[in-house]
Amino acid sequence: MNAHINLDLGLSAALACPGSELASLHNDFNKINEILASLVNDVKSELTQIWPLLGPLDRMAGITDDVMINFSMRKARDYAWRTAEKLAPIAADLQEPEIAKIDQWVGNFGQVVYKPPLRTARLMLFLIRLGERKSVPEMIDILM
């Protein structure tokens, strides 16, 4: 999701609505935040099928985790919009250097997510991986 939201989404928006056309996309772009927020509980239900411990943890967290998820998603999509704003004014055939910079940042960010620098975060991810009860194909089926 990191690469999709932080790179592909902004690039797609800039290519779909280049230059001054980008502004016409902004309201629809923001409405999708509302749609995604409305899907959080469904996604958590599916993830609970993959990782059963999520259910009790979600109940203990109350609405705090929903607020954090929606905040994080909104921040990532805001970054995507800023990416679109950087790329839209540049002719498509000249965008490659800027895309390469963004791609490098997204890759570095992805490495931090994949291998967090803090031992506690790594331990938490390890425990999550241990608790997963399905094979990769089964997880994909659940999430589809």
pLDDT above 90 covers a percentage of the chain that reads 32
Q: What is the DSSP string of 72-121?
A: HHHHHHHHHHHHHHHHTTS-GGG-HHHHHHHHHHHHHHHHHHHS-SSHHH
Distance (Å, whole) CA 144 – CA 138: 10
The count of domains in the chain is 1
Which pLDDT tens digit goes with each residue over 26-61?
A: 999 989 888 888 887 888 888 788 777 777 777 777
Contacts (Cβ under 8 Å, ≥6 apart) of 109: 2, 6
Please tell me the distance from the alpha carbon of residue 69 to that of residue 14, in angstroms, as a whole number.
Answer: 26
Range of the domain at 107: 2-143
CA distance 96 to 103: 10
pLDDT of residue 143: 79
Q: 16-27 pLDDT, tens per residue?
A: 999 999 999 999
Give the torsion through C-alpha atoms of 66, 67, 72, 74, to 10 deg.
Answer: 110
Confidence at residue 56, expressed as pLDDT on a 0 to 100 scale? 78
Amino acid in the structure at residue 59: R
